[in-house]
A and B are shown apart, each in its own frame.
Chain A
Amino acid sequence: MEQTLFRILYFSRNCTEEIGDQQSGSLNQILSASRSNNKNVGVTGALMFNAGYFAQVLEGPKREIEKTFERIQRDPRHTDVVVLECSDIASRDFPEWSMARVEPQSEKELHVTGHALQSALEDSDNAGQDVLDLLRSLVVQND
């Protein structure tokens, strides 16, 4: 029986000035560090990077989520962190992923996800749910 699950979803702005492959390399680095950390502590989730913004969902035991979130807060590579949602959850949305990478694969997808993210954020009452749905659908697509 797993202890109470907790989820946090946040949105932040990339503040490195990297572009193209360099940026993709950094993202891989962030992901692999995050995956190795998360594996040991039962944290799963997804990270989306789109046009200078991050959206990340973390799910797992509350204490571990707190530690992981705090570590992420100290990362100088992003700023303007906004928590869209945080709450207890009954089950995980990303049980298979220590940290799924969600990245638009094409210009079209970039446009679509950017637009979806934008409208999700504009819908301030449901922003958390909308971004979460977006991440969920993209993980499935890119899988």
Chain B
Amino acid sequence: MSTSAEVLAAVEPLEGLQPFPETLTSAATRVAPLAVVPPPNSASASGSLFGPSPASTFSAIERARPDLAGCLVFDETFRVLYLSPSLSRVLEIGSSTRNERDVFEVLTPLMDDGETHTATPLRLWIEAAVGAPQDEQTPPLLLHFEPNRSLEAKIHQVGEAYWLLGLEELSAPREGQGDMFAVLYQDRLTGAANRALFEHKLDLALQRLNADPEGSVTVLFLDLDRFKAVNDTLGHAVGDSLLALVSERLRTGLRESDILARLGGDEFAVLLRDGVDEQRISEIATRLIDLVCRPYLVNGQVINVGASIGAARAPEDGRTRDQLLRSADLALYHSKSAGRGVFHFFAPPMEAKAQERRALELDLRKALVLRQFELHYQPQIDVENSTVTGLEALLRWRHPTRGILLPAEFLGFAEEIGLAVPIGNWVLKTACKDAMAVPASMTMAVNVSPGQFESADFSIAVAGALKNTGLPGCRLEIEVTEAILLRDGTNIRANLEALRGMDVRVAMDSFGTGLTSLSQVVNFPLNKIKIHRSLIGSTVNDPKSRAVLRAISALGESLGIATLAEGVESPEQLAHVRSQGCHSVQGFYYSQAVPAREIPAVLTALTVSTPRG
């Protein structure tokens, strides 16, 4: 019998049709089901039982078993000694290079090609088989190769240091075998790849990119706009159906070789691996957004959602998986804050902005505890008798290094990171407390963000603040923005009802900038409309602004809603808004916003020498 060294020597020049050791060829026929048919022509062997060469023996097996996808033989260093022609065809690799390659390289197309859904398991399986005791049979492995094509791999040790790996075609996973692949790597809801498979595919694509600097790898992150509203209003079952439809639409906008994954919730990712330049990526992303944004019909309901996309390319936007995913995520964030329904490539400034946001977030989270927030108060004055009727509480953040920050500089972000409600509650409580220190004839106006007003607990927070401070509900005025009219949540209605029940007043802040129509305002239960400063500042000379101001005042008059002009800075403006019928004013002309401790002085000054317009 041949020694190992002789076997190697014999196998090396395979094309030369050298005799192959008997142990190897007979083993090949023993590996069920490869060996169901004994190799033909075995009798014509020139001395060897199974024919003159391994090549002819294996190809004879393959001819007899057309369902076989092929086989290969490798040694304990994983070097491939024999590769059957049919397997070469399956793998689409030339047979000439086989001797320089190890089994993992040869099987790469089964492990990481775009058409293949087989990941690391193949490598682990081979390593396990090689490490197993000789008499232990390694269980077969199910491989998914191309859509609707499955292969079963079997491995068998031959002699001391050789392994034979055979692949058999399976039309479908066998009964009882289960589809482990689907369980491990597919999103159950949509059938798209899951995060684990996506990351694996991305790793492999990046590895290949290292070997081939000409290649390209692009990751698209896609996130639905307004998906939460669908879940909330139509239920999770409809939400799930919608996600499945979204996934199918995305698939129709992609090539066969692109990987589509659902990372969770309404987040999808796409991996584009070849031949896509910037122009092509833009086209694909634009097409995906267009497809997703078209209406859906689910359970007889028309549903409209939007989509935003961020794209990152390797190697320029990141060389590692984590870097690339982060870049794609930042690009997506940028798209969402740039108005949604759009697509953006990653750009380095996004990283800097993200760091700024991160720093701001850390500061904001500390600010409440460190008592860096304070309230400033601006008087509201009745134009008829020039008395102070109320105060508006305005939030200021005394930032340790950046000085005093206005709400516009941080409140939107606070809402994004879930801090708007705790900050809003602090404002509410503090304003109610300070209101108790001013004459009981004065109301206290508190600004509330749409998110805060929409939260189910808002009216409870108001009730708590009133109870804890002893402020009567009729002295509190909640200021909401026009944005609230554009949202139509049940919580908003419920909170409005509850405020009414507590006699708390509701004012529309900064009205008249065109977001909403007068008819929308009419349908909203209001006690006061505050007219935006832009209509006051220019109003004396601009006929259009005058007309709008007059219309709003007239509307307030006829509906019994009080009107207040914001930003009154001069006697001319005061005289004008008074002539147009505004009930009260607020602005620098009377007083700027001042800290609580300065309120008494301001009130005294306004009482003693009330300026008249």
Contact = CB atoms under 8 A, between A and B. Distances in A.
B300 A73 contact: no
Given A70-B245, A74-B252, A88-B300, A79 B290 contact: yes
B296 interface: yes
B292 to A, nearest CB: 10
A1 B567 CA distance: 68
A80 B291 CA distance: 10
Given A73-B249, A74-B249, A86 B291 contact: no
Nearest to A72: B294
Given A83-B302, A86-B302, A70 B297 contact: yes
B422 interface: no
B298 A66 contact: yes
B290 A69 contact: no
Contact of A74 (B291, B295, B297, B300): B291
B249 A69 contact: no
A76 B291 CA distance: 8
A49 interface: no
Interface in A57-78: 62, 65-66, 69-70, 73-74, 76
Contacts of B245: 70
A126 B289 CA distance: 29
Contacts of B290: 79
Residue of A73, A83, A88 with highest tally of chain B CB at under 10 A: A73
Contacts, number: 37
A83 B294 CA distance: 10
Interface in B231-253: 245, 248-249, 252
Nearest to B302: A83
A10 B295 CA distance: 10
B245 to A, nearest CB: 6
Contacts of A76: 287
Nearest to A66: B297
Interface in B261-296: 287, 290-291, 294-296
Given A70-B245, A86-B302, A8 B297 contact: yes
Given A70-B245, A73-B249, A74-B252, A83 B300 contact: no
A33 interface: no
Contacts of B249: 73-74
A112 interface: no
A49 B176 CA distance: 53
Residue of A6, A74, A79 with highest tally of chain B CB at under 10 A: A74
A65 B291 CA distance: 19
Contacts of B299: 66
A116 interface: no
A81 interface: yes
B298 A73 contact: no
B295 A81 contact: yes
A6 to B, nearest CB: 6
A86 B297 contact: yes
Contact of B296 (A6, A70, A88): A70
Contacts of B287: 76
Contacts of B248: 70, 74
Contacts of A69: 297
A79 B291 CA distance: 9
A123 to B, nearest CB: 18
A32 B296 CA distance: 24
Contacts of B291: 73-74
Contacts of A70: 245, 248, 296-297
Contact of B295 (A6, A62, A65, A83): A83
A69 B249 CA distance: 12
Interface in B291-318: 291, 294-300, 302
Nearest to B251: A74
Contacts of B294: 73, 79, 81
Contacts of A73: 249, 291, 294-296
A10 B287 CA distance: 20
Nearest to B301: A86
Nearest to A10: B295
Interface in B138-173: none
B284 to A, nearest CB: 12
A62 B291 CA distance: 22
B367 to A, nearest CB: 45
A79 B298 CA distance: 20
B296 A86 contact: no
Contacts of B296: 70, 73
B276 to A, nearest CB: 18
Nearest to A81: B294
Contacts of B298: 66
A86 to B, nearest CB: 5
B104 to A, nearest CB: 39
Contacts of B302: 8, 83, 86
Residue of B249, B252, B295, B296 with highest tally of chain A CB at under 10 A: B295
Nearest to B249: A74
A76 B284 CA distance: 12
Nearest to A74: B252
Given A65-B297, A73-B295, 7 more contacts: A10-B295, A69-B297, A70-B297, A73-B249, A74-B249, A74-B252, A81-B294
Interface of A: 6, 8, 10, 62, 65-66, 69-70, 73-74, 76, 79, 81-83, 86, 88
Which 10 A-B residue pairings sit nearest by Cβ, starting from the closest?
A69-B297, A73-B294, A83-B302, A74-B252, A66-B297, A81-B294, A83-B295, A86-B302, A62-B300, A81-B295
26 contacts: A6-B300, A8-B297, A10-B295, A62-B300, A66-B299, A66-B300, A69-B297, A70-B245, A70-B248, A70-B297, A73-B249, A73-B291, A73-B296, A74-B249, A74-B252, A74-B291, A79-B294, A81-B294, A81-B295, A83-B295, A83-B297, A83-B302, A86-B297, A86-B300, A86-B302, A88-B300
